[in-house]
Each structure stands twice: as C-alpha cells, then as structure tokens.
A and B are shown apart, each in its own frame.
Chain A
Amino acid sequence: MAELGPRALGPAYSLDDAPFEAVEAQVADYWALLKPRVMSLVIFTAFVGLMAAPAPVHPVVAIASLLCVAVGAGASGALNMWWDADIDRHMDRTKDRPVPSGRVAAEEALGIGIALSLLSVGFLFLFANALAAFLLALTIFYYLVIYSMWLKRRTPLNIVIGGAAGAFPPLIGWAVATGGVAVEPLVLFAIIFLWTPPHSWALALARRADYARVGVPMLPVVSGDQETRRQIWLYALALAAAAAAPFATELAGPAYLLVAPLMTWRMLAASRRLAARTAEEAVADKFRAEWRYFGLSIAYLFALFSAILVDVWARPLTMALIGG
C-alpha cells in the first residue's frame, strides 16, 4: 500500500500503521464508497430545488440530471474516503468503511472519485447547462479541498464553513431547470447551511472520543461539551429564522405553513433540552438525547423540504382555490 503523501495539518498517521488485509472488493463495497446515505439527501434536496423552479423540465432530462448530481455526490464521498483513510481507520464510526478496512485500495477510491467527478460534471453540462455543471464541480471541489483537505483538521469551524458543500444541491436543481440562480434556492441553501452545524455537533458530542483520538478539532474536542451545547442552541435559533424565510418567497404554501412551525418548535425544544444537559448526564445515558437529536434533525430537514415539494405540486390547486 503506497503512502498518500504527507498530511500538512493532520495527525501523524500513516497508511502503514497497520497491515491491510488483501480482500477482493464486492459491488457492495464500491456502493458504500459512494456514501449512499449522504447521496440520498443530496438527490432529494436537488430534486426539491428542481421542482420548485418556475421552468418545467422534461422528466427524462430531470432524471438524467439528478443522476449526475447523485454520481457527483458519490464521487465526493469516494474522494473524501481516499483523503481521510488515515484517520477513518482509527475511528469507531468509520473504521469499517471500504478504504480504511482495506476492502478497496485508497488509490482505487481516488481513481473512482476522479472518474465519476469528470463524468458527472461533463454529462450534466450536456444534459442541462453550464451553470448546473459548474455548481456540481464547485460542490465536489468544496467538499474535497475546502472541507476535507483544508478545514476539517484545522479548525472547529470545519463543519460551519464546510457545511456549504451539502447546501449546494438545491441550487444545482434550480439551475438545471432555469439556467440561473434566484432567491428561492438561496433560501434552501441557507436552511441546509444553518442546519448542518447543530446536526453534526450532536453527532460530535456522542463521538467526541473518536475525533479526539485522531486529532480532528471538532467543537466538543476544542471548546468542550457545554460550549458545543450552547452553540447548538444558537444555531438552532438561526436555523429557525432561516426556516421562516420561505414564507417571504413563492416556496411556502399551506403544507409548509402547517409543517414548518410545528417541526421548528420541536427542533427548538430539543435544542434547548440538549443545551441544558450536562456531559455527566449524557455519559450516564450513553448520549441517548444526542442520538435522538441527530435523528430528529434529519427528520426536520426532510419535513421542511417535503412540505415545499407538496406546496409546489399543489400550487395550481391552491391558486384555483384562492382565486389567484
């Protein structure tokens, strides 16, 4: 196994720390390399951005474009696994991933990541337009270079700034349909951008020892448990404000009016409870509330975007009912 090169900012781990077991990879390993769970969120948010746009897209072009976005997200996952293989091997959460476990060689992950990046961006240019392709390329670059290579091992703001990578998909979806960018997809961008830190910090609270072991300066490692809980609460407040922004645009309709306040209230209440907990309480119940918060935050984002989707689809009916 060849070295990946020096990590200027990371802990002094080498891929030679432990011998890899030579195993022939299965299809499932290559699938896992693409981080399918992250990919599903990317596809969904890009789909909402595409459907919310005022310009209709032929279903075949829409499916082909969303596939490109999915493959681009998968490429980012493979490149991230290539770069982070040295620390992933020492973290309980990630040690079973295809590269750190040795089922897929790091160089192979790199090759797959580059190939899929080029293919996804190139095909999106052909299927949709230059702006959508550029935004997809920017997303891959941002996730690999800005987040993984630059910020992740350097600053506790890693997830705050790096979180933008996960917020781009609605912009891509909108760009596929319109060839441009407008305030509506920027509102969707803001929601995901402000959602990412509290979502990730809940996980980091529960996995603090993992991050500390490999020297990744997540907020709980650098600033401690209590400060992280306070920041989760503050970001939840900012997220609540962002979640109200669709009401000022064409995005929100009756479904959003029904779902957003209710779910935002739940999210705020859970954030407040999390902020009021002590590290001792969390350890005593094995971070039960933190894991629940992590799950709730996913459900929250899904609920907001689903409500927008319902409103978009029901818009003709809504307009007919209110006589617009």
Chain B
Amino acid sequence: MSGADNHELHRRRRGRNLAVGGVLLALVALMFAVTIVKLSQGPASPF
C-alpha cells in the first residue's frame, strides 16, 4: 500500500471514528434528558 493510499485509509477511518463518537455522545445526552424528564414525571410502568 502506497503512502497516499495509507493517508486516504486513515482519513476515512478518522471520519468514521468521529461519527461513532458523535453518535455515542448524542446517545448519552438523549438518555440523560429522558431520565430527567421521566424522574420529573414520577414513577410509571412501561406496561
């Protein structure tokens, strides 16, 4: 694999890693927000 190919490979992997990191952060924020809302609404059964 040439140096240019290697650079392109790393660029694409970096983009993917950043996207996965962003999704995980968004998921944590979402969970936190829903938890706060649910706690403020009091106990409820999902059934």
Q: Which residues of A contact B (CB under 8 A)?
A: 24-27, 30, 58, 60-61, 63-64, 67, 125-130
Once A58-B41, A129-B47 are accepted as A-B contacts, the answer to whether A24 and B12 lie under 8 Å apart by CB is yes
Residues in chain A near residue B38, CB distance under 8 A: 61
Shortest distance in angstroms between B14's beta carbon and chain A's nearest beta carbon?
Answer: 10
Contact of A129 with B46 in the complex, beta carbons under 8 Å: yes
Once A125-B46, A126-B46, A130-B46 are accepted as A-B contacts, the answer to whether A27 and B16 lie under 8 Å apart by CB is yes
Which of B13, B36, B37, B46 has a CB less than 8 Å from the CB of A24? B13
Contact of A26 with B41 in the complex, beta carbons under 8 Å: no
Once A24-B12, A25-B12, A130-B47 are accepted as A-B contacts, the answer to whether A61 and B19 lie under 8 Å apart by CB is no
Contact of B33 with A60 in the complex, beta carbons under 8 Å: yes
Once A27-B19, A130-B46 are accepted as A-B contacts, the answer to whether A64 and B12 lie under 8 Å apart by CB is no
Which of A26, A61, A130 has a CB less than 8 Å from the CB of B34? A61
Contact sample, A vs B, 21 pairs, CB 8 Å cutoff: A24-B12, A25-B12, A25-B16, A26-B12, A26-B16, A27-B16, A27-B19, A58-B37, A60-B33, A60-B36, A61-B38, A63-B30, A64-B30, A64-B33, A64-B34, A125-B46, A126-B46, A127-B34, A128-B46, A129-B46, A129-B47
Residues in chain B near residue A128, CB distance under 8 A: 46
**B9 interfacial contact with A, CB 8 Å:** yes
Interface residues of B in 2-44 (CB under 8 A from A): 8-9, 12-13, 15-16, 19, 30, 33-34, 36-38, 41
Which of B15, B30, B36, B47 has a CB less than 8 Å from the CB of A26? B15
- Measured CA separation A126–B46 after assembly (Å): 7
Where chain A touches its partner, the secondary structure class is helix
- Measured CA separation A126–B34 after assembly (Å): 9
Contact of B46 with A60 in the complex, beta carbons under 8 Å: no
- Measured CA separation A30–B15 after assembly (Å): 12
Residues in chain B near residue A61, CB distance under 8 A: 34, 37-38
Shortest distance in angstroms between B40's beta carbon and chain A's nearest beta carbon?
Answer: 9
Residues in chain A near residue B46, CB distance under 8 A: 125-126, 128-130
Residues in chain B near residue A25, CB distance under 8 A: 12, 16
Shortest distance in angstroms between A29's beta carbon and chain B's nearest beta carbon?
Answer: 9
Shortest distance in angstroms between B7's beta carbon and chain A's nearest beta carbon?
Answer: 12
Residues in chain B near residue A24, CB distance under 8 A: 8-9, 12-13
- Measured CA separation A227–B44 after assembly (Å): 54
Residues in chain B near residue A126, CB distance under 8 A: 34, 46
- Measured CA separation A58–B35 after assembly (Å): 12
- Measured CA separation A316–B1 after assembly (Å): 66
- Measured CA separation A129–B45 after assembly (Å): 8
Residues in chain B near residue A58, CB distance under 8 A: 37, 41
Residues in chain A near residue B8, CB distance under 8 A: 24
Residue of A nearest to B33 (CB): A60
